[in-house]
Amino acid sequence: MGRMIKSWIIDLRHFLLPDGKVAPLPPRAERLFAYWTEIVSQATQYDDPTTLRCRRRPGRKPCKSLLTIFFDADNNDVLWFCPRCHDEGRIAGWEDTFWDNGGLEPEKPS
């Protein structure tokens, strides 16, 4: 309501070919896609702190703030935002992609 923040909402599967490789993208989209996949990669390294920094350049100055990355408890989407410039987004469809480091397999009965 009234928020003028541009939010990125993407689904990684829309960028992948049937064999799981990344579809050919124009350079700008390719850079954004690399950023999103890095977010997923860091989000699923559950034990490691986030080191990814904001890519935006508000007022032509690099923001570079540490991103906050977490999961949507309802549908497991990866959510991220920049606490400084308020860039934010949602990434769906990341499970079992190349960038999913989680490997959350069901526990084997012992």
Contacts to Zn ion by CB under 5 A: 54, 56, 63, 65, 82, 84-85, 87
The distance of closest approach from Cβ of residue 42 to Zn ion in the complex, given in angstroms and rounded to an integer, is: 16
Q: Which is nearer to Zn ion, 20 or 62 (CB)?
A: 62
Three-state secondary structure readout of 59-93? HHCCCCCECEEEECCCCCCEEEECCCCCCEEEEEC
- Least Å from the CB of residue 83 to Zn ion: 8
C-alpha to C-alpha distances, 97 to 44, 55, 82, 102, 107, nearest whole angstrom: 11, 23, 24, 10, 20
CB of 31 to Zn ion, least distance (A): 16
Residue 97 DSSP code:
S
- Least Å from the CB of residue 37 to Zn ion: 18
Kindly tell me which of 22 and 56 has the beta carbon lying closer to Zn ion: 56
Residues 6+ apart with CB under 8 A from 49: none
CB-nearer residue toward Zn ion: 65 or 97? 65
Query: Which C-beta is closer to Zn ion: that of 33 or that of 55?
Result: 55
Taking only Cα atoms into account, the Rg of the chain, rounded to an integer number of angstroms, comes to: 15
